[in-house]
Amino acid sequence: MLTAKELSAIEEQLKAEKLLITKNKAYAQLCDDPELRKKCEQMAAKHEEHYQTLLSLLD
C-alpha cells in the first residue's frame, strides 16, 4: 500500500513524464536531420515506458 506522499510523488512524476513524451514528439517533428529525429522518437518512447511503469504502480 502506497502512502499519500508516495502517491503524490508518482502523480508528479507521471506529469513530468507525459510532458517529456509530448516535447520529444514535438522536437522529432521539427527535426530535419533523420538521426536527430530518430533520437527524439527514441527518447519519447523511453519516457512512454517510464510512464507505463509508473502507472503500473497504481494498479
Domain boundaries, the chain: 11-57
**What secondary structure letter does DSSP report for 33?**
S
Residue 12's identity, in one-letter code, is E
Give percent above pLDDT 70 in the chain.
100
Could you read off the pLDDT of 32-57 as tens digits, one per residue? Answer: 999 999 999 999 999 999 999 999 99
14, 25, 19, 26: which is closest to 50 by C-alpha?
A: 14
How confident is residue 59, by pLDDT bands cut at 50, 70 and 90? confident
How far apart are the C-alpha atoms of 38 and 47, rounded to whole Å?
A: 14
**What's the predicted TM-score (pTM) here?**
0.91
**What secondary structure letter does DSSP report for 54?**
H
